[in-house]
Structures are given as C-alpha cells and as structure tokens.
Amino acid sequence: MTGVAGALAQGAEPGASGQEGDPAAVTVPNFWDPRGGADRPTVTPNTIRFLASDDFPPFAFRDGTGRLTGFNIDLARAICEELDSACSLRIKSFDALVPALVREEGDAIIAGLARTEANTRTLLFSDPYLKLPGRFTVLQGKTLSVLPEDLAGKRISVEAGTVHEAFLRTYFADATIKTYPTATEARAALGTEEADVHFGDGLSLSFWLNGKTSGDCCEFVGGPWLEPGYFDRALTIAFRQDDALRQAAVNHALTRLQAKGVYAELYLRYFPVSFY
C-alpha cells in the first residue's frame, strides 16, 4: 500500500525526550536535518518585527493577566535571542496580517498562515516548525495495532466530511468506518463501545486527552500519520517575497533551537500530552 508504510515517518522523528512505547516518555517532533543549520548566516537581521494574532490558543493568546503568551510567541522570542536580533510583536486580526506585512508594518508573520499556491506567489515561507498529524486513540489499557491490515473488520469512529475520513476510506477500506456529525460524538463512541478505535486530529485529541471532558478514558495508540495529500498542513513563518535574508536567518535559528533543546522545551510546555 503505497505511502502508508512511510506515513508514520513523514516529517517527524522521535526526539531525545521519548520513544514510542515508553509510557513515561514524551515524543517531541523533529523537522530539521541535524547536518543543516550549523553555519550561521554571514548576515543576520538587526531586528525582526513579528506579526501575530492573539486568538489562537495555545499558539498565541492572552493569559489571565492579559499577558501575550503561547507557543508561537515564545518561539518568536527564542528565534530573536538565537540570532541576537531585536524583537517585537505586533498583534493584528488574522485577516489583517498579510496586508500589514505587505505594507511593511512588520517583517514576519507567525500565526499558522497556510502555505497556499496563491500565498507562495507573494510570500516566502520558513521551513515548517510544526505539522498536524492524524492520530488513533483507544480506551485506556487497550492493546491494538493500528496498521491497515490489523484494523480490517475493526470499527473506527471519525468525524464525517473530514480529511481524516477520506484518509481512512483510502487506506483502511477493510475496516468498518463509522462516521459522526462532530468530533465530540466520534470520540464518545469509544466510551460507549460503538467503536474499537477513534481517528482524528492529533492536536485536538491531545487537548482532549489532557482535559477534563475525556474523563481520562483514552490514550493515543500507534504513532503520528502524516500522509502527503491528507495531513500536509504545516506551521511556518511568512516573509515578504524580497526578504530572503530573514527567511534564511530564521531557518538557521529554528535548526539551532532544535539542536540545543530549546524547541523541545517549548513544545513540552504547551503540549504536555504530545500529539506525536
């Protein structure tokens, strides 16, 4: 089955903080070639003015005191520190971010902007710093292989009309795919034993598993699925088309933050239940 065997390895290697199968370990994704980024760019920017929104938790939001925080926010600050660049953050509504960048009100957008064909004609993008995989979940303590051949005849719950359903119908056609109007209902099918396993967005599932609404019922099983064409969405940083200097500098900084363990520290701070 072309693509499925490689889906688990696409873009995510277990970090030093954990390996699959160790219940005490947490896997941190690694999107960077350790051989790259060793040489600091000859020229680095004196300043990086980041543009972001503040309604994208846990990536960018206001805490109880009104302080701007989040994974994207702390990552932006770490990038500036790595490059010895002065750093600023300007908050805009999501729809206003690209126009603000074009008007040179900032230098870079860190807000989960999609790398679409239209955007790549006018913007440059950094290397991905996070991808959003699909994940399987089961009831706590249940042992189950989630390879396609092993789920043949098993009941898989999934939200209807999503890429996750489309992926299952392509690669898990021999399973019994049970669709539900919402992700909440699809997850609940595990508790009522209408399904043997649930498949959905790894990020959302990590918050659910770590929250009160799950009732500590369930856990991830298997690894992340990042099959191209289904789970291509990646978080990157956007720049103006003529700003290759900042693009190269930020790519270098991301690689160094991974190598130094800073990326892992930030990831575990905001995603204590890893979705990888």
Domain limits, the chain: 4-9+133-225, 47-131+234-270
Asked whether the beta carbons of 231 and 163 are under 8 A apart, the reply is yes
Residue at token pair 């609404």: 213
Q: Would you state the pLDDT for residue 12?
A: 37
Q: Would you state the pLDDT for residue 37?
A: 57
Q: Would you state the pLDDT for residue 13?
A: 36
pTM, entire model: 0.82
Low-confidence ranges of the chain (pLDDT < 70): 1-25, 34-38
CATH code of the domain occupying 47-131+234-270: 3.40.190.10
Q: Would you state the pLDDT for residue 36?
A: 62
233 vs 78: CA distance, rounded Å: 23
CATH code of the domain occupying 4-9+133-225: 3.40.190.10
Which pLDDT tens digit goes with each residue over 90-128?
999 999 999 999 999 999 999 988 888 889 999 999 999
241 vs 228: CA distance, rounded Å: 26
146 vs 167: CA distance, rounded Å: 14
How far is CA 123 from each of CA 19, 77, 230, rounded to the nearest angstrom? 36, 22, 23
What is the DSSP annotation of 89-148? EEE--GGGHHHHHHTTS-SEE-S-----HHHHHHEEEPPPSEE--EEEEEETT-----SG
Asked whether the beta carbons of 175 and 153 are under 8 A apart, the reply is yes
Asked whether the beta carbons of 190 and 99 are under 8 A apart, the reply is no
191 vs 233: CA distance, rounded Å: 30
Task: Tell me if 4-9+133-225 shares its fold with 47-131+234-270.
Answer: yes
